[in-house]
Structure 1
Amino acid sequence: MLSTISINNYRSVRDLSFSLEQLNLITGANSSGKSNLYRALKLLSETAQHGVVNSLAAEGGLSSAFWAGPENFSQAMYTDEQPVQGIASKTVKRLKLGFATEHLSYAISLGLPIPSHSAFVLDPEIKHEAIWYGERYRPSTILAERKGPLLRIKDKSKWQVISQHVHSSVSLFDQINNPAIAPDIFLLREFIRSWRFYGDFRTDQNAPSRQPQIGTRTPVLHHEGNNLAAALQTIREQGDEQMLDTTIEDAFPRSRLEISRLDDGRFGIHFHQYGLLRPLSGAELSDGTLRFLLWIAVLLSPSPPPLMVLNEPETSLHPDLFPALARLIIQASKRTQVWVISHSHELIESIETLVPHSRIQLEKRLGETLITSQNQLNIPPWSWPDHR
């Protein structure tokens, strides 16, 4: 389980570290920075999947992803006694992301390349990475470190150089992928790669989730939901069938769900709604009903990941469905760590009334994303590894 997340110099986040629980509710007003936390966590997941540099390029490049305000604020700036202004920085600009677990922690630092004759002057470069034992960084606890092109790991008390020519776009996870050489690093890579992110489901009339699809065993719903029928049938055969039926009844009283198998091997949805004489197909479902079925497939997966991030799960749902969705989220959090990023007070309150959780209330002051209740006493003891 992630115990701490730390983000530095990324979009509206100047410097933020916060603790996590098994179930975490991230909320705040529009433009408070919820989406930036979501994107930062996705960037962290990309470090183990060959894509962090490409993902930053897709965001518009590293320069546009940097925090745009001053390095520090004075109290006079907060009270409007002094205009918001910066001074010439004496430090090299870096975007830093990191997380801690009880056993292993990881941090990455990205920057722009040193000016050269290359035309690719805006390509982000990985400047520094480190993996260490425990939640708090100490030089003596480092397991692996990458500085520029040099990558080394520590075997007991001795350093072993793995490569002196690591490309600036390649993470250490791409270089150390042999469980026989570095089993802890391999396990950390697999831990990160198994995180799941959901939220951008299509529910328009041409959405793949509405159409019959080839029926293959599907323990993990695709992030776009295009294998919905197969995922729901997999839950029925391999997962918690009783919870599936209970959740349908909870959200849609006296209704039931069937997955039909067509002659050509495709699966389709048959939703029996109380009062109707025939079942509804996926193409006939309302956006809210279809989206709720997608969340069922996500949260009742027979193969739960170590971390699941739900981005605005309330979208297109009627508030009457929030209590059932809250109960479904709570059930999932018993098997996996869950982030819920939401601006719906009704959904958050539905969850809060049922189970203890970690609520992270965001606000924005002078363009900076802050946690409302955070102070020096409840900031986790995070420190960044030494690097340039």
Structure 2
Amino acid sequence: MILTLAVSGYRSLRDLVLPLERLNVVTGANGSGKSSFYRALRLLGEAAQGRIIPSLAAEGGLESTLWAGPESFSRAMKAGEAPVQGTVRRERVSLKLGFASEDYGYAIDLGLPVSSGHFHDGQMAIPSMFSQDPVIKAEAVWIGEVLKRSNLIASRGGAGVHILDERGNRATVITDLAPFDSMMTHAADPRGAPELLALRERMRGWRFYDHFRSDPEAPARRPQVGTRTPVLASDGADLAAALQTVREIGDPAALHDAIEDAFPGSTVEIESAGGLFEVTMRQHGLLRPLRVAELSDGTLRYLLLAAALLTPRPPSLMVLNEPETSLHPDLLPPLARLIAAAARRSQVIVVTHARALVDALEGEPDSALFVLEKQLGETLAPGFEGPAWNWPKR
């Protein structure tokens, strides 16, 4: 389980360090930073996939995602006695993401390139057209909750990667790592760096579900070739196969209860024709089952969330971004019960602005509620004192 999540320099998250529980609910007014919080989590997961640089590019590049306010606020600025204005920069331009779990911690520091050219065989070659790409300045993996020199097991500074070997000595395993490559994808080794490999695979297993499509052309509304599907795809295209997989190797009773809880008297069946699977729903009073193309947006979205949350292979972390979209308020209590049950098997983070969903989840065992606020453009989580945290040095 992740115990501490830290973000620095990303959009409105100037310096946010939060203690996490097994079930975490993040809410707040529009513009308070909920979307930035969710995107920062996704970026952190992309590091283990080797996609953090392209993901930043998709957001408009590093400079468009950096904290846009001053490096620090004076007491007079905070009190409204002086205008908010920039000062002479003391620190390097940096976007930092990290977490500490019950066993390992990981952090990455991204910045701007120093040179506008690229190297080949140690010699400066032609000027690079990628001079605005962010580069990875530092990475670290450690044991425990807080990074220290004594518990550091893998680090990256510049082009070099250093690993703590089985004798307790720091060995350099890579000397020419490209600035756009992560040590998580290039230094993880089952013999030389098994901890790094284990952490990478765990992060690759994180699941993010963000705005399932339910429009008439949504992938979930079309029959799909059915194969065993223990993990619902992020776009929900394999919904029918995922629901059938829950029935065969998961918890069919829980699936039945989740549907009955939301739609009393209704049943969901999976039809197969020529290898194509399709969801159908029989509702009380109707003479024939409704095909998936006939289901309302809210009904389809609830079925997608049920398939995701009842996965037979629960991940270490599941993140739901605004799962209440398109749902009728009556469906939020059943959804909350599904989320609470999933949190007994996985760590869950829910980003939502639905008060009814927040109320239904508040008070669940091992849960935390973060109500984000913005002050002087900075996202804060009042009521929570940030745990101890150290960033890796460049």
Using structure 2 for the length normalisation, give the TM-score.
Answer: 0.95
CA distance in 1: counterparts of 2:329 and 2:211, whole angstroms? 19
**SS state at 1:7 partner:** strand
Q: Does 1:188 align with 2:199?
A: yes
Q: 1:385, CA displacement in angstroms?
A: 2.1
CA distance in 1: counterparts of 2:371 and 2:303, whole angstroms? 28
Number of the residue aligned with 1:121? 131
User: Which whole-Å deviations, capped at 9, do the CAs of 1:223-282 have from their partners, x for residues lacking one?
Assistant: 0000000000000001000000011000000111111111x1101111011111111000
Q: Choose the corresponding residue for 1:157, options 168, 185, 188.
A: 168
Number of the residue aligned with 1:23? 23
**SS state at 2:156 partner:** strand
**Root-mean-square deviation (Å):** 1.0
Q: Choose the corresponding residue for 1:316, options 303, 321, 326.
A: 326
Mapping for residues 281-360 of structure 1, pairs under 5 Å: 281-352=291-362, 354-360=364-370
Unaligned runs of 5+ in 2: 117-126
Q: 1:129, CA displacement in angstroms?
A: 0.4
CA distance in 2: counterparts of 1:192 and 1:246, whole angstroms? 31
**SS state at 2:16 partner:** strand
Query: Which range moves more in the overlay, 308-317 or 157-166?
Result: 157-166
Specify the code of the residue in structure 2 equivalent to 1:45. G
Number of the residue aligned with 1:169? 180
In the alignment of these two chains, the number of paired residues is 383
CA distance in 2: counterparts of 1:66 and 1:127, whole angstroms? 15
User: Which whole-Å deviations, capped at 9, do the CAs of 1:312-343 have from their partners, x for residues lacking one?
Assistant: 00000000001100000001001000000000
- Contact 2:12–2:379 (Cα < 8 Å) also in 1: yes
Q: 1:354, CA displacement in angstroms?
A: 4.8
Q: 1:353, CA displacement in angstroms?
A: 5.1
- Contact 2:211–2:325 (Cα < 8 Å) also in 1: no
Mapping for residues 137-286 of structure 1, pairs under 5 Å: 137-155=147-165, 156-262=167-273, 264-286=274-296
- Contact 2:224–2:238 (Cα < 8 Å) also in 1: yes
CA distance in 2: counterparts of 1:334 and 1:25, whole angstroms? 15
Number of the residue aligned with 1:75? 75
Unaligned runs of 5+ in 1: none
Query: Which range moves more in the overlay, 114-123 or 338-347?
Result: 114-123
Query: Which range moves more in the overlay, 72-81 or 120-129?
Result: 72-81
Number of the residue aligned with 1:65? 65
CA distance in 1: counterparts of 2:306 and 2:204, whole angstroms? 22
User: Which whole-Å deviations, capped at 9, do the CAs of 1:58-85 have from their partners, x for residues lacking one?
Assistant: 1111011110001111232223210001
User: Which whole-Å deviations, capped at 9, do the CAs of 1:322-381 have from their partners, x for residues lacking one?
Assistant: 11000000010010000000001111101125545111110001110000213xxx3201
**SS state at 2:202 partner:** helix
Q: Percent identity?
A: 52
Q: Are the structure 2 counterparts of residues 140 and 353 from structure 1 closer, same or farther at C-alpha, using a change threshold of 3 Å?
A: closer
Q: 1:157, CA displacement in angstroms?
A: 2.5
Number of the residue aligned with 1:98? 98
**SS state at 1:48 partner:** helix
User: Which whole-Å deviations, capped at 9, do the CAs of 1:95-140 have from their partners, x for residues lacking one?
Assistant: 1111001211011000010133322221010010011111111111
CA distance in 1: counterparts of 2:156 and 2:64, whole angstroms? 25
**SS state at 2:49 partner:** coil
Specify the code of the residue in structure 1 equivalent to 2:390. S
CA distance in 2: counterparts of 1:353 and 1:17, whole angstroms? 22
